[in-house]
Amino acid sequence: MSMTISGDAGITFPNASTQTVSATTLGYQTSDQVTTTATNIVSSLSLGIGQTWQTPTRSAGTTYTNTTGRPILVSVSANTNASNTWYWTFTVNSVQIYFSYGGGGAPAYYYFPYVAVIPPGASYIMNITGAGGGPVIWAELR
């Protein structure tokens, strides 16, 4: 759906049955106020708009909470030496969304990437069970 805001007349929603709603009906004085409010709402809820990649200090086994009021994207890469056996899980709000297993073979390194959208107010944790390795890169779009 798209919408057109023209002057103080209101908002037009073009579809099968076009409707126009005036700015005053929506509780505003002008269409500029409607535009500003709509832009602020979309920006505050959209992933990536006005957000930047950051590399916070994070550790496996610690629960973090998204306190930004907006969805964030978390990207984590972990590694293990193949001669060790490791199990990784990534959990959001007590729901396990990733599980990986590595190691138990010849000496080499395995890398496991995780990417997850974390809703506002949600908790997230990367757990590692086993010996050797850990998070290599932890970045968040926030």
Tell me the pLDDT band of 37, cut-offs 50, 70 and 90: confident
All structural domains of the chain: 4-45 (no CATH), 53-141 (2.60.120.40)
pLDDT category at 51 given cuts 50, 70, 90 is very high
Distance CA 59, CA 54 (A): 15
- Over residues 101-120, the pLDDT tens digits come to 766 666 566 667 789 999 99
**Exposure of 124 by Cβ count < 10 A (0-12 exposed, 13-18 middle, 19+ buried)?**
buried
Beta bridge partners of 78: 112, 135
* Residue 34: pLDDT over 90: no
Q: What is the pLDDT of residue 8?
A: 56
CB count within 10 Å of CB 128 equals 19
Q: What does the block give as tokens for 135?
A: 């998070």
Phi, psi of 33 (to 5 degrees): -65, -40
pLDDT of res. 140: 97
